[in-house]
Amino acid sequence: MAVSSEVRSNVTSISAVREQRLDVQLRQLEFSAHLHRKLDLEHLFDALMAEGQAFVNFDGLFFHAADRGNDLLVGEVRQYSQRFEMKLGARTLGEIELMRGKPFSSREERQAERLTESLVYPLDNALTHHEALMLAMIDGPTGLRNMECLEQQLPREVRSARRSGLPLSVVLFSVDYLESISEHHGSAVGEQAWRDVAETLGESLRRSDLVFRSDGDAFCVTLPDTDLDEAVALANRLREKVDRCVTLDNVQFVLTASAGVSMMMERDDANTLLGRARDALSLARRGGRNRVRSLHEEELSFDPDDGPAAA
């Protein structure tokens, strides 16, 4: 008795292969078009995180900015990563790091590389847009970011700190009676004094720290990955550095400075975080100036007219 068996072929037809390739190409085109519509840097990387999962799985990404834009973290920090330099011609746009909890296979490494290659032109557009926005958010006398920029950037810093689980501190820094230089020596000397102080602050900070001209007579410094004690120590170093940073006709002005410090807590948003720093600065001024004060979450905002709250 003859026995016959049916042999099933696992070979994919040429037409099926073509359809699969066409499907991948269409998804890549749609993905690229989607990225090109994102001019905001944070929105661009949010889209890369969400839509990029169709091509390779990853849990988080980090944009290491070059000389344009700011470092950004989206998703979770993980043990294994693939890092790609983003270049357009001779220009370096930064580096993209894709992270996840297990190693990338050779195939996934190639998929990740193709994924980041699709980001080059959208990233260049977003960085150009970012630079244009920043030009409108520059304080003329000091060259620092202005209050409008602070109102946009601080919520982003708060979101980034929540994502990374790293501390975030804020310092409000005020040179005591700096405005009196203009009153006694003229506006040109006064503006130069503001620039000298701004330059001194900038020279003393890390690349990830941001300085803003805030509230007219104060500077705001955001300090990622910095706890309250570290921020207080830095504020004291800044206070010492501005002591003799302003010079007129080879004569140095003796300056003092006051600072208020706060660190982001679980329930904080940008407003409450900055509000505690303002309250702490008020305490420093009311306590005699030339000092640094800090406030914790449990120390509620106070009305300066009612007297100082707990230090």
Per-residue pLDDT band at 299 (split at 50, 70, 90): low
**Do both 43 and 190 map to the same domain?**
no
Report the relative pairing of strands 251-252 and 72-75 from DSSP bridges. Answer: unpaired
- Asked if residue 3 is part of any domain, the answer here is no
**Do both 197 and 297 map to the same domain?**
yes
**Do both 168 and 251 map to the same domain?**
yes
Sign of torsion over alpha carbons 169, 211, 192, 244 = positive
- Asked if residue 179 is part of any domain, the answer here is yes
* Cα separation, 273 vs 137, whole angstroms: 21
**Do both 169 and 288 map to the same domain?**
yes
Q: Give me the domain span that covers residue 111.
A: 17-133
* Cα separation, 80 vs 305, whole angstroms: 54
Residue 61: phi and psi, rounded to 5, are -140, 150
CATH at residue 31: 3.30.450.40
CATH at residue 156: 3.30.70.270
**Do both 165 and 288 map to the same domain?**
yes
pLDDT of residue 192: 80
Per the DSSP assignment, residues forming a β-bridge with 63 are 72, 96
Considering its fold, how many domains does the chain have in total? Answer: 2
- Asked if residue 32 is part of any domain, the answer here is yes
Residue 123 CB neighbours (<10 A): 25
Per-residue pLDDT band at 13 (split at 50, 70, 90): low
DSSP 230-273: HHHHHHHHHHHHGGG--EETTEE----EEEEEEE--TT--HHHH
Is 170 in contact with 261 (CB distance < 8 Å)? yes
pLDDT of residue 154: 94
> What average pLDDT does the segment 96-109 reach?
94
pLDDT of residue 143: 83
- Asked if residue 125 is part of any domain, the answer here is yes
- Asked if residue 12 is part of any domain, the answer here is no
Residue 190: phi and psi, rounded to 5, are -65, -45
pLDDT in tens, 125-175: 999 988 888 778 888 888 888 888 899 889 989 998 998 889 999 999 988
Residue 174 CB neighbours (<10 A): 22
**Predicted model pTM:** 0.63
- Asked if residue 75 is part of any domain, the answer here is yes
Q: Above pLDDT 90, what percent of the chain?
A: 37
> Six-digit token pair at 209?
């720290």
* Domain end position, chosen among 133, 149, 182: 133
Nearest to 209 by CA among 237, 176, 247, 190: 237
Residue indicated by tokens 């949010």: 46
Which region holds residue 158: left if phi is over 0, alpha if psi is between -120 and 50, else beta? alpha
**Do both 93 and 216 map to the same domain?**
no
* Cα separation, 310 vs 260, whole angstroms: 13
**Do both 124 and 153 map to the same domain?**
no
**Do both 171 and 289 map to the same domain?**
yes
C-alpha dist (Å) from residue 178 to 201, 215, 255, 287: 15, 14, 8, 18
**Do both 218 and 295 map to the same domain?**
yes
- Asked if residue 41 is part of any domain, the answer here is yes
Collapsing DSSP states into helix, strand and coil, what is residue 220? Answer: strand
* Cα separation, 75 vs 45, whole angstroms: 10
- Asked if residue 221 is part of any domain, the answer here is yes
pLDDT of residue 196: 83
Residue indicated by tokens 């010492």: 240
**Do both 149 and 34 map to the same domain?**
no
* Domain end position, chosen among 96, 115, 133: 133
**Do both 86 and 172 map to the same domain?**
no
* Cα separation, 7 vs 246, whole angstroms: 89
Per-residue pLDDT band at 18 (split at 50, 70, 90): low
* Domain end position, chosen among 133, 159, 178: 133
Residue indicated by tokens 């050779």: 106
**Do both 97 and 182 map to the same domain?**
no
Residues 6+ apart with CB under 8 A from 137: 145, 146, 148, 149, 152
